[in-house]
Amino acid sequence: MQNLIKRYFWVLGGVVVAVCAVFAAKATSHIVEAKFLGDPDHGPKVVRVADASTPATVKAVRSKDGTQLASRNMFCSECTPPPVDTSKPSDPSLVPTTTLPLLLLATNIGITPDQSWATIVDTENQHQGSYSVGEPMPGANGGKIKLIRFKFVDFENNGRTERLGLVGTTPPTTVAVEAPVENKDEMTAAIDSGIKKINDTNYDVDKSLVDKILANPMAVSKGARIVPAMKNGKPEGFKLYAIRQDSLYGKLGLVNGDTLNSINGFELTSADKALEAYTKLREATALEVEITRHGASTTLKYNIK
């Protein structure tokens, strides 16, 4: 066995030399590649494909005119902005959509404009054909195709440039936005017409409005959130939050954070006392409401007639 190993030991040396030669060849190949076959200093120019809705030739036009902002009146939460007329492009450089009876079925964009073509159907005679840049557009009175893009084709028609959009990508027609119809119920209408403000603390209230409220007190319960008010651990009345300006509370001059302390001397320190005041003042012709506003006591007077 030892004689056999000694006889063929040279094979192991040959294998080691072959492996080393392979690694040396690979290293030499990488060195030569890095030296002579590196990346070029300047890559080929890449042309960005413009989106169909915003052609590359169209530049945004900025204006300092504040008419649109002023007409919107962002401080009015109930105002409806006027409808925007999109029948005419706001930017004169934009291309209008054609009204010709044509359909753009497909486009093929080549490397150069001459290698691009579009498949167009004339819906009047059902004639279909492929057209490239510079060829006459069907139905355009001899007008030629000027530009072919992925989703549209621009062509000349009667001295002006028009656009034919790909089927399924035609901009939707403009729908006029109608102002919402104000729908006031009977109670809201009675509140609007039944309360007249004399000054910040004096109001005239129509007797018919009082009768409506007494007959259906729940109709005005959603105009504000009323919670018991505490001071130094003792009840002092009822505090008002989330007052709607068009509600009964808003029309009566009450604001968020007001605390109702008493009505005509009847303290409102509990639900029982509030019910007692409600029972005794049903037929009153004048009300004096003591409130606390911003830490100060104020009296609101209501003349019922």
Residue 184 has pLDDT above 70, yes or no: no
* Residue 189, pLDDT above cutoff 50: yes
Identify which of 119, 133, 123 has the alpha carbon closest to the alpha carbon of residue 99.
123
Tell me the average pLDDT across 178-199: 71
Q: Which CATH superfamily is domain 186-304 in?
A: PDZ domain (2.30.42.10)
Q: What is the pLDDT of residue 79?
A: 61
* Chain segment 61-76, per-residue pLDDT in tens: 566 666 666 666 666 6
Lowest mean pLDDT among 31-35, 254-258, 271-275: 31-35
Alpha helices, H only, the chain = 2-8, 10-36, 67-72, 186-194, 207-215, 248-251, 271-280
Provide the residue ranges of all domains of the chain, joining segments of one domain with +.
Answer: 69-165, 186-304
Would you say residue 198 has pLDDT above 80?
yes
pLDDT band at residue 191, thresholds of 50, 70 and 90? confident
* CATH code reported for the domain at 69-165: 2.30.30.830
Residue range 130-154: mean pLDDT, rounded: 89
What's residue 78's pLDDT?
60
The CA dihedral of 30, 31, 34, 36, to the nearest 10 degrees, is: -120
Predicted TM-score (pTM) of this structure: 0.39
Q: Give the span between the Cα atoms of 104 and 152, in whole angstroms.
A: 8
